């Protein structure tokens, strides 16, 4: 169980995303924190990340790993697409 409320996670999660953002942008991508709900961090990948075969690896091995290392090992990151 994650010992933080979703509201308490907002600032530290944004700080973790800001750490990894330059690496994503260096490859022509982008990342935006959409929301945190029940300990799940929802982000939106953009730019070259959209449709890229490596975007799931970027999400899990880059973003999720950074957030887990910085904040809590049980946090999960999911990508929200623009499709409905």
Backbone angles phi, psi at 53, to 5 degrees: -65, -25
pTM of the predicted structure, to 2 decimals: 0.91
Residue 13 to residues 20, 53, 55: CA-CA distances in angstroms?
Answer: 11, 25, 19
pLDDT band at 81 (very low <50, low <70, confident <90, very high): confident
70 is written with which tokens? 């910085």
CB 28 within 8 A of CB 48: yes
pLDDT digits (tens, 9 = 90+) for 4-41: 999 999 999 999 999 999 999 999 999 999 999 999 99
48 is written with which tokens? 């070259």
């Amino acid at each position: 169980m994650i010992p933080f409320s979703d509201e308490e996670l907002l600032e530290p999660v944004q700080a973790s995303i800001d750490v990894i953002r330059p690496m994503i942008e260096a490859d022509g991508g982008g990342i935006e924190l959409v929301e945190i709900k029940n300990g799940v961090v929802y982000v939106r990948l953009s730019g070259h990340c959209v449709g890229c075969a490596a975007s799931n690896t970027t999400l899990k091995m880059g973003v999720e790993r950074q957030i887990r290392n910085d904040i809590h090992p049980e946090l999960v990151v999911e990508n929200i697409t623009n499709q409905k």
